[in-house]
Structure 1
Amino acid sequence: MDYGLLWYVIVAVLLLEWGWDQVLETLNRRHWTAQVPERLKDVFPEDKFQKQKDYRRVNHSFSFISSAVSLVVVLMVLLLHGFGWLEARLQVFGLSPFWHSLVFLGVVGLLSTLLSLPFSIYHTFVIEERFGFNKATPRIFVADTIKSLLLGALLGGLLLGLFRWFFEWTGPWFWLWAWGLASLFAVFFGRFYTTLILPLFNKLKPLEEGSLKQSIESMSKAAGFRLDRVYVMDGSRRSTKANAFFSGWGRQKRIVLFDTLLEQLNEEEVVAVLAHEIGHYRLKHIHKGTAVGLAQTGFTLWLLSLFILHPAIAQALGAAAASFHIGLLGFGLLFSPISGVMGLASTILSRRHEYQADAFAAQYASGAALQTALKKISAEALSNPTPHPWYVFFHYSHPPLLKRLEALDL
């Protein structure tokens, strides 16, 4: 069986990427402290700190096993030329090139989802259940899975179908049209996510009238932010973990608070967290993050256009001839290291934005209240308070808790 040089390159990329992830995971695991950091003793009593270490240890082992299984499956598919086998089986149906590509990628996506499903079930109903986080019932889990599959098939199929059509229509310049379409999608769903997508999975209701809403309105007015919509989301249906986020812009901008956040924090702390989210908007972090993401997407699509019909990719995946879907799949396997490097720009920018939003919150709300809120949220989620600096650099979109507390001291 002739694998071709690129086959070995793909295998080497997969092995090196997995190995590097394990190095970072091991460094992070060994960096856990035996004692509670002095600054966190008020929210991390000894029993909770031990529980946090147990939770991290279990997740570390789970991550190793799940990633190793995924790696072995992909390597076996490559070794046996499974993608080429699927390509040949679909040929007998006589589909047009357009539909052949969509069916091929749909089958690969479905099989990937089926592979990850047992791990998702175990993590939700065994690990998260064991540590008291999971609130989802099997019915909710099944409904979420079906909705996600249908939504992914609809939106993913639409995007891929249009990409495929651009490819037939414009040839090597398809990446420009695809970039334009991807940009429109990103802008559209960035603005309407909380009105179109989120309600499919969660219930949103306006924040009730009362002292909290009055305090939020006073803070937002001082911060120069027109507060139109603050919603409470039923996050407690699935988990006890708390969160808040900002979505959209213009008249569609919304701040969403998890109901668990309102349960875990007092009024002053909730206002401080909300001031942080407003800071992201006022400091134009959403626009900057979107711009960086669109630039990365354009660069990725341009690289894809250079290699998508390269015969070596078809040979490496065991296909008889180069095609749009084989090239897209092969490029995805090869692109992982470049994607990781590009992702660093986004994570570094995101961490910087978090510091800036914290400073904004300290200016228009209470910095001390934000500190206690961050500590409570971290402790309730059993987050690792002492991650390794390298792990933070490559994986954390938010600065570590102790670093954020130190920055707020200034």
Structure 2
Amino acid sequence: MNSDNILYIIIGITVFDFVFNKTLGILNNRSRKKPIPASLQGIYDQEKYQESQHYQTAVFNFSIVSSTFSFIVMLALLWFGVFGWIDGLIRNIAPVEYVASLYFFGIVYFASDLMSIPFDLYGTFVIEEKFGFNKTTARTFILDKIKGWMLTIVVGGIIATIFILLVAFFTQTFWIYFWLIASVLMVFINMFYTSLIIPLFNKLTPLADGSLKNAITAYSQSVNFPINNIFVIDGSKRSSKANAFFSGLGKKKKVVLYDTLINNHSEEELVAVLAHEVGHYKKKHIIWSMILSLLQVGFMLWVLSQMIFSSEISWALGANSTSIHINVLAFGILFSPISTVIGILMNLLSRKNEYEADEYAVKTYDKQPLIAALKKLTSDNLGNLTPHPAYVFVNYSHPSLQQRIEKMEGID
């Protein structure tokens, strides 16, 4: 296949991806105006329901503007061969292929990130601020950005260097060795994320002794799930939205509760949320998700190995010679249809897992506190009560609130 046809395919995939996602977004935006299902009545009063409608409209309209901007910029970069032009400039400075790759990845990352800053600022300090969610100060925003850049330079730079060296030494079989390294890194991050990464951005404190800790401990012991690492994260530093998550494996497992979650929910609701997270662990969802993620990475790297040395792909994006970094960039676009299909399949599995975790929480604790917690989370976050089924099918890793509640109500 010649370079012109490859370019048309790349542009075609870019256009299709944009149209596909915007169509789903429009359907979902229209769907929010449907009547509230009977099982969800009472979550909002009339005033707050109108506020949720305004919030969802604002977020949707902003997403249209930001994604359209990104789409137009990408089309221009592809059509006018800007990536190839950048490659040519870099080679005048760093003629060695593998050094040039590091420069290229750095330039593309920082250019993309800098272009996203105005949208990040508007989303955080205008939309989220208007609806009372934003707690981020200008100082926190700037520090987060600087820390993110430094983390990318250090960790991303090391990973990119390893990748480039493996490509140089092992050519077509590089993917096997990089897959092994990536697998070790993914497991390491999963185990030590709360110890190494989170403290760079947030403060973690052990849950204080008291009735909540006693209730959590009593439940965990009742289901033979000994846990000593329960932490509170200062999520209110950035947003009033609440969350909770499970991190780590084996003795490194930790439960992290947002301070906003603790402040807005009863003890019964918090224990029910914990019971749901324990359900994921007991059902081995975390292990299987990790295994599937590792398999996805291996498959992706194998596909990349089939095109990373293609001269035609490099020429398609405007390069004058075979360029590894140009081909990696092109691969990201060419692989996106496969990535979308994989994402849908993974979301199907994830939604199944959520139902199972809900069922575990209902059977080992109580359904009503969990239902109450989910309703309150949706209300506090001004969530959409009637998402479009097609949008849920493609994008939701969790079932809709209506689906979860109706499923739990049917459990004896």
For normalisation by structure 2, the TM-score amounts to 0.97
What SS does structure 1 have at the residue aligned with 2:53? helix
Q: Are 1:375 and 2:375 counterparts?
A: yes
Q: How far did residue 217 of structure 1 move? A: 0.7
In structure 2, give the amino acid aligned to 1:87: D
User: Where does 1:4-153 land on structure 2 (aligned, <5 Å)?
Assistant: 4-153=4-153
Counterpart of 2:212 in structure 1 is: 212
2:225 matched to 1:221? no
Alpha-carbon separation, structure 2, partners of 1:330 and 1:153: 22
Asked whether the equivalents of residues 87 and 319 of structure 1 are also in contact (C-alpha less than 8 Å), the reply is yes
RMSD, aligned α-carbons: 1.2
CA distance in 2, matches of 1:33, 1:70: 28
Where in structure 2 are the equivalents of 1:6-405 lying within 5 Å? 6-405=6-405
Q: Distance in 2 between matches of 1:38 and 1:31?
A: 16
Identical columns (%) = 43
AA matched with 1:20: F
Deviations 1:71-119 (A, max 9, x none): 1001111122111111111111134322111111110111111111111
Alpha-carbon contact 1:36-1:49 (below 8 Å) kept: no
Letter in 2 for 1:26: I
Distance (Å, rounded) in 1 between the aligned partners of 2:6 and 2:36: 49
C-alpha displacement at 1:33, in angstroms?
Answer: 3.1
SS at structure 2 position matched to 1:307 = coil
Instruction: Say if 1:36 and 1:44, in contact at 8 Å, map to a contact too.
Output: no
CA contact (8 A) 2:204 2:231 kept: yes
Pairs aligned (count): 409
CA contact (8 A) 1:229 1:253 kept: yes
Deviations 1:196-255 (A, max 9, x none): 000111101111111111111111011110112110110011001010000001121100
> In 2, distance between residues paired with 1:393 and 1:94?
46
Contact 1:348/1:393, CA 8 A, preserved across alignment: yes
1:284: how far off? 1.1
Please list every run of 5 or more consecutive structure 2 residues that lacks an aligned counterpart in the other structure. Answer: none
Deviates more, 1:28-37 or 1:76-85: 28-37
Alpha-carbon shift at residue 349 of structure 1 (Å): 1.2
- Determine if contact 1:3/1:318 at 8 Å carries over to the other structure: no
The 3-state SS of whatever aligns with 2:231 is strand
What's the CA shift for 1:68?
0.5
In the alignment, the residues of structure 2 paired with residue 238 and residue 40 of structure 1 have an alpha-carbon distance, to the nearest angstrom, of: 29
Separation in 1, partners of 2:111, 2:168: 27
Partner SS for 1:76:
helix
User: Is the CA contact 1:236–1:260 (under 8 Å) kept in the aligned structure 2?
Assistant: yes
2:205 is paired with a residue whose SS is strand
Q: Give the superposition deviation at 1:160.
A: 1.4
What is the CA deviation profile of residues 116-138 of structure 1, one whole-angstrom value per residue up to 9, with x for unaligned ones?
Answer: 11111100000000000000001
What is the identity, as a one-letter code, of the residue corresponding to 2:297?
A: T
Query: Match for 2:98: what amino acid?
Result: F
Alignment gaps of 5+ in structure 1? none
